[in-house]
Amino acid sequence: MKTVLSRRTWAYLAGLTLCSGLLLAGTPDQAANLTACKNDWKSCDRTRLTASETTEVAVAERARNAWSCRNGLSSCDHSRLSEPEEIALAVVLHDQNVSDCRSALSRCDVSRLTALEAREIAAGEHRRRISDCGDGIAECDSSRFTPLELSEIALARHQRLLSDCKNGVGSCNYSELSSAETGEVALAARRRNVAQCTNGWDECDSSKLDDGEAATVTAATSTRNFSDCRDGRDGCDRSLLSPSQVSALAATERTRNYTACLKGRGYCDRSRLTPAELAAIPSEPGAP
């Protein structure tokens, strides 16, 4: 009898273990199914959802539908929107259309604008057209502007021409400049050439430098070359160094070499050390 009871007990315990294992194994699948249903995936099995999960899925579907409607997607189902959602959607879509019209986007629907919005946007578009004409961005239809606006456009074009001439952009039409403006352009060109020569740029025309400018450029070139030689850059031309610069570089190199030998880090040439410096340097490992 004891043997029978023992077998029954073990069978019962084994059954409980098997059931627990199946339930635990099913938990990830249940979570995956909930995720699939909330995302409207084909793998969703609604028959496996609990009551609370069904509510979660309904909330997710409503949110997804509202998002689709706000973004103008074909999946939008207006019949599933609540009244507050319909109102919120109408506000979003109206504001978006106003923004599209202000930005002159092709999806702008002028018929959905209020009378005031339409007037404001038309005025903004007119101002943008004036600006574009002045900046030379688009074709300019002078018949659409008042005499005052045409004067504004002409002034903007002249200012752009003057700016381009001063900055050396494109070809300057000097015939459209006044005498004072021609002088301003010449001065800007001179300053630009000095800057180019000072920086060693290819655009430099040294023949246009006066004595003072040439001296300034020579000093800048010498300073830049000294810096290149000191820092080991490719631009270094040692033939251009002054005696004082040569001495300064030699002193800097002696200090660097001594420091490298002393600390054992970097290129060290012991043959260039003075007897006093050599005595302060620890002997190299394995040296006699």
Q: Which domain holds residue 272?
A: 248-281
Domain count, the chain: 2
pLDDT band at 8 (very low <50, low <70, confident <90, very high): low
Decide if pLDDT at 147 tops 60: yes
Look at residue 27 in the predicted model and tell me its pLDDT: 53
Look at residue 104 in the predicted model and tell me its pLDDT: 87
Measured between alpha carbons, how far is 231 from 229 in angstroms, rounded to an integer? 5
273 occurs within a structural domain = yes
Look at residue 274 in the predicted model and tell me its pLDDT: 92
Q: Does 215 lie in the same domain as 194?
A: yes
Look at residue 22 in the predicted model and tell me its pLDDT: 41
pLDDT band at 72 (very low <50, low <70, confident <90, very high): confident
Average pLDDT (40-60) is 89
173 occurs within a structural domain = no
Judged on CB neighbours under 10 Å (0-12, 13-18, 19+), 55 is exposed
Q: Does 211 lie in the same domain as 190?
A: yes
Q: Which of 8, 51, 40, 45 is nearest to 30 (CA)?
A: 45
pLDDT: is 113 or 81 the higher one?
A: 113
For the question of whether the overall pTM of this predicted structure is more than 0.75, the answer is no
Look at residue 120 in the predicted model and tell me its pLDDT: 95
96 occurs within a structural domain = no
263 occurs within a structural domain = yes
Q: Does 225 lie in the same domain as 263?
A: no
190 occurs within a structural domain = yes
287 occurs within a structural domain = no
Decide if pLDDT at 184 tops 80: yes
192 occurs within a structural domain = yes
Look at residue 138 in the predicted model and tell me its pLDDT: 77
Look at residue 225 in the predicted model and tell me its pLDDT: 93
CB 191 within 8 A of CB 170: no
Q: Does 259 lie in the same domain as 230?
A: no
pLDDT band at 40 (very low <50, low <70, confident <90, very high): confident
Neighbour count for residue 89 (Cβ, 10 Å) = 16
Q: Does 232 lie in the same domain as 275?
A: no
